[in-house]
Amino acid sequence: MPHAAQQLARRLDELGRVTDEPGRLTRTFLSPAMERANALVGKWMQEAGLTVREDDTGNLIGRLPAGPALVAGATRTRKPKTLLLGSHLDTVRNAGRFDGALGVVLPIVALAELKRRGVTLPFAVEVLGFSEEEAVRFTGAYLGSKAYTGRLRAADLLLTDSRANTLREVIEAHAGHHYTPPKAAHRRGDLLGYVEVHIEQGPVLEDRKLAVGVVSAIASQTRGRLTFRGRAGHAGTTPMNLRRDALAGAAEFILFAEKYAGGRPPLVATVGTLAVPSGAANVIPGETVLSLDVRHPDDTACRRAVDHLIAEAQDIARRRGLTLAWQQTMKHRATPCSPELTAALDRSVRAVQGKSLALVSGAGHDGVIMADLTPIAMLFVRCRDGLSHHPDEYAAPADLAVALQVMVDFLERLAADFAKERG
């Protein structure tokens, strides 16, 4: 499959040049670059024989129907099932070109390879390019997969972007009509599952000298916003002992969070953004807003860590004469992958790579949302230095080729097993 692997690498490079910001890769929810990305990937879907549509929230959906033999034998009560493959097409700011995009482009190339071989599948396949997973334009993550699974709520539509546009306004401007959150795109019983290919975003595969590995579960995650409020004052005339410095309180908390999580692996806690509204070089900060992201493979451990960190932030605020506000913006439970789908994926990994490795994903993925609709499985691909959410993010062509072989093998084996069951 050398040609297919080369095509996959070329297409990822081409898609990586579709951006809203010259000089760096950034694609956010329903932005002009997202529209261009959908058009480009949609063209590749059509070339692979998929029927393409885009829903009101900008999710790109390519569908390959089940092979004609099964359709001819299907009845109204036993219609062909559907396998879902995909990931997201949005990015963080100044992103790498593999996160998300790999999980959309690779299945298209895999289906095109099966078509070239004359292989038909006894089930339908939908390749999904979700419009938003990264929560860059709006604070709520997984907007695309939430809409697809019927989990987008009226409250989500009140979210605002940096220009004070609500999510509802942005969707309706895109769709051209009044928007009501839809029901799930499929009934659970009509689906075989959802499989996502993603770079690992960590160093384990590289350490083990393996191209790919199988995900066993996605870690529990809580994300929110802490606001420390004190009193602004003149930097030259307010004595140090009379200050109520919100930024100093935030700094103390950041260091505490780092030390607390550092002593309790596999817990991780991250402050990724810090804002000082009305900040100036000669003004004591009166308000500081920071993000907090806490993750752990175990739900209970994650919840206890969040509770402890917020309690410490409150203690810091009291000692410094500050007030504290906590706003949770996202929470998802630890999400196990399907034992059956994972075993099938593991079988293909062993067939292609010779050995397999199970990993827990510390990163969140659309699979978290999709798991409420259908069983999920994930394939991780080695990335250099474990680096992600960075322009130097890189997966080697040889590793992409292995992942592509695994997907083709997985689809062929699943088709054979499914055909035997239908017998």
d(CA 403, CA 131): 23
d(CA 33, CA 20): 5
Domain boundary among 294, 317, 332: 332
According to the annotation, is 389 in a ligand binding site? yes
Of 305, 291, 365, the C-alpha closest to 332 is 365
- Is 254 buried (19+), middle (13-18) or exposed (0-12) by CB count in 10 A? middle
d(CA 87, CA 366): 7
Asked if 186 and 368 count as a contact pair (C-beta separation under 8 A), the reply is no
Q: Are residues 149 and 198 in the same domain?
A: yes
Q: Are residues 29 and 153 in the same domain?
A: yes
Quick one: pLDDT at residue 75? 47
Domain boundary among 285, 314, 332: 332
Quick one: pLDDT at residue 135? 86
Domain boundary among 302, 332, 362: 332
Tokens of 231: 């009193």
Q: Are residues 17 and 125 in the same domain?
A: yes
Distance of CA 423 to the CA centre of its chain: 37
According to the annotation, is 393 in a ligand binding site? no
Q: Are residues 200 and 300 in the same domain?
A: no
3-state secondary structure the chain: CHHHHHHHHHHHHHHCCCCCECCEECCCCCCHHHHHHHHHHHHHHHHCCCEEEECCCCCEEEEECCCHHHHHHCECCECCCEEEEEEECCCCCCECCCCCHHHHHHHHHHHHHHHHHCCCCCCEEEEEEECCCCCCCCCCCCHHHHHHHCCCCCCHHHCECCCCCEHHHHHHHHHCCCCCCCCCCCCHHHEEEEEEEEECCCCHHHHHCCCEEEEEEECEEEEEEEEEECECEECCCCCHHHCECHHHHHHHHHHHHHHHHHCCCCCEEECCCEECCCCCCCEECCEEEEEEEEEECCHHHHHHHHHHHHHHHHHHHHHCCCEEEEEEEEEECCEECCHHHHHHHHHHHHHHHCCCCEEEECCCCCHHHHCCCCCEEEEEECCHHHCCCCCCCCCCHHHHHHHHHHHHHHHHHHHHHHHHHHC
| CATH number for position 63 | 3.40.630.10
According to the annotation, is 390 in a ligand binding site? no
According to the annotation, is 198 in a ligand binding site? yes
According to the annotation, is 99 in a ligand binding site? yes
Quick one: pLDDT at residue 6? 96
Residue-level pLDDT, tens digit, the chain, 423 residues: 789 999 999 999 999 999 999 999 999 999 999 999 999 999 999 999 999 999 999 999 999 999 875 544 444 446 789 999 999 999 999 999 999 999 999 999 999 999 999 999 999 999 999 999 998 998 777 999 999 999 999 989 999 888 999 999 999 999 999 999 999 999 999 999 999 999 999 999 999 999 999 999 888 999 999 999 999 999 999 999 999 999 999 999 999 999 999 999 989 999 999 999 989 999 999 999 999 999 998 899 999 999 999 999 999 999 999 999 999 988 888 899 999 999 999 999 999 999 999 998 888 899 999 999 999 999 999 999 999 999 999 999 999 999 999 999 999 999 988 777 765
Q: Are residues 312 and 382 in the same domain?
A: no
Quick one: pLDDT at residue 67? 87
According to the annotation, is 186 in a ligand binding site? no
Question: How far lies 8's CA from each of 13, 84, 194, 219, in Å?
Answer: 9, 19, 21, 29
Q: Are residues 274 and 247 in the same domain?
A: yes
d(CA 396, CA 413): 26
According to the annotation, is 295 in a ligand binding site? yes
Cis omega (within 30 of 0) on the bond before 266? yes
According to the annotation, is 347 in a ligand binding site? no
Q: Which residues pair with 330 in a beta bridge?
A: 223
Q: Are residues 67 and 125 in the same domain?
A: yes
| CATH number for position 304 | 3.30.70.360
Q: Are residues 247 and 144 in the same domain?
A: no
Of 197, 183, 222, 203, the C-alpha closest to 365 is 197
Asked if 377 and 193 count as a contact pair (C-beta separation under 8 A), the reply is yes
Q: Are residues 92 and 154 in the same domain?
A: yes
The residue range of the domain holding 181 is 2-218+334-422
Number of domains, the chain: 2
Quick one: pLDDT at residue 69? 55
Q: Are residues 17 and 162 in the same domain?
A: yes
Q: Are residues 94 and 172 in the same domain?
A: yes
Q: Are residues 359 and 308 in the same domain?
A: no
